[in-house]
Amino acid sequence: MSKIVDENCAIAIREAVRGDVPRILEAIRGLALYEKLLDEVEATEEILEEWLFDKKKATVLLADYEGEPAGFALYFTNFSTFMGRAGLYLEDLFVKEELRGKGIGTALLKTLAKIAKDEGYGRFEWICLDWNTDAIDYYLDIGAIAMDGWTVYRMDRKRLSEFAEE
> Using one digit for the tens of pLDDT, what is the confidence trace for 120-157?
999 999 999 999 999 999 999 999 999 999 989 999 99
Active site residue ranges:
139
pLDDT the model gives residue 7:
52
Provide the whole-model pTM.
Answer: 0.91
Low-confidence residues in the chain, pLDDT < 50: 2, 4
Q: What is the dihedral of CA 129, 62, 105, 51, to 10 degrees?
A: -20
Q: Which domains does the chain have, with CATH numbers?
A: 2-165 (3.40.630.30)
Contact by Cβ (8 Å): 41, 27: no
pLDDT the model gives residue 9:
72
pLDDT the model gives residue 134:
92
Q: Distance (Å, rounded) from C-alpha 6 to C-alpha 13?
A: 10
pLDDT the model gives residue 164:
96
pLDDT the model gives residue 2:
47
Q: Distance (Å, rounded) from C-alpha 12 to C-alpha 24?
A: 16
pLDDT the model gives residue 5:
54
Query: Could you tell me the sign of the dihedral formed by the alpha carbons of 59, 105, 78, 133, in that order?
Result: positive
